[in-house]
């Protein structure tokens, strides 16, 4: 819980002027608790904003590796339930979702399916809205097209109607 409070404080303080100090604090928090994944996500964002995409991706890869290790059993099976409603799950879900969206953004279309499909199976209420991303991928929409069409200043309200119109099409989700 202390790391969550610290994380939200870092997020609120993060701006162009203090990027370097936030980056240092974030690295320190990763050393203190390497399984608190939101610290990796801040560092990922800082590196991405800086244009250091290779380092950013390596940070996200490590965070995702840790996230998967936290939730899977010794055979690599995901849990039956992984709901966002539990605060303890949110940093894990955010990390894996960021990785899936990065893979989609890089047009590695088959790879995001694994994470998004598992989110849908372990969270039937779909609080991470995986169904929208899955449908867009099945419709061969790029991440950029999806963002341009639906991201209205950080709000994605318009994709609900789009989903309703298209989910009954040949792109049905029950073929996962």
The pLDDT tens digits for 29-69 are 899 999 999 999 999 999 999 999 999 999 999 999 999 99
Q: Express as a percent the part of the chain with pLDDT over 90.
A: 48
**Residue 115: per-residue pLDDT:** 85
Please choose, from the candidates 171, 166, 61, 80, the residue with its C-alpha nearest in 3D space to the C-alpha of residue 120: 80
pLDDT at 150 over 60: yes
Sign (positive/negative) of CA torsion 145, 171, 132, 40? negative
Q: Distance between CA 100 and CA 54 in Å, rounded?
A: 16
The pLDDT tens digits for 108-129 are 756 777 888 898 899 888 888 8
pLDDT at 3 over 70: no
Mean predicted lDDT score pLDDT of the chain:
86
Q: Distance between CA 102 and CA 54 in Å, rounded?
A: 12
**Residue 175: per-residue pLDDT:** 47
Which residue is associated with the tokens 């390497």?
34
The pLDDT tens digits for 10-34 are 778 878 788 888 899 889 989 999 9
**Residue 102: per-residue pLDDT:** 93
Highest-confidence segment of 4-8, 127-131, 153-157? 127-131
Structural domains of the chain, with CATH: 2-128 (1.25.40)
pLDDT tier at 176, thresholds 50, 70, 90: very low
**Residue 110: per-residue pLDDT:** 60
């Amino acid at each position: 819980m202390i790391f969550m409070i610290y994380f939200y404080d870092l997020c609120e303080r993060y701006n162009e002027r203090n990027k370097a100090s936030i980056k240092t604090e974030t690295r320190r928090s990763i050393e203190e608790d390497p399984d608190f994944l939101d610290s990796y996500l801040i560092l990922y964002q800082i590196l991405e904003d800086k244009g250091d995409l290779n380092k950013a991706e390596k940070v996200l890869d490590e965070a995702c590796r840790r996230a998967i290790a936290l939730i899977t059993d010794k055979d690599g099976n995901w849990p039956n339930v992984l709901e966002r409603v539990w605060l303890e799950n949110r940093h894990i879900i955010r990390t894996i979702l960021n990785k899936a969206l990065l893979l989609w953004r890089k047009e590695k279309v088959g790879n995001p399916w694994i994470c998004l499909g598992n989110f849908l199976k372990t969270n039937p209420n779909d609080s991470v809205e995986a169904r929208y991303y899955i449908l867009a991928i099945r419709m061969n929409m790029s991440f950029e097209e999806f963002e341009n069409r639906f991201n209205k200043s950080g709000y994605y309200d318009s994709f609900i109607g789009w989903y309703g119109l298209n989910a009954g099409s040949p792109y049905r989700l029950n073929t996962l």
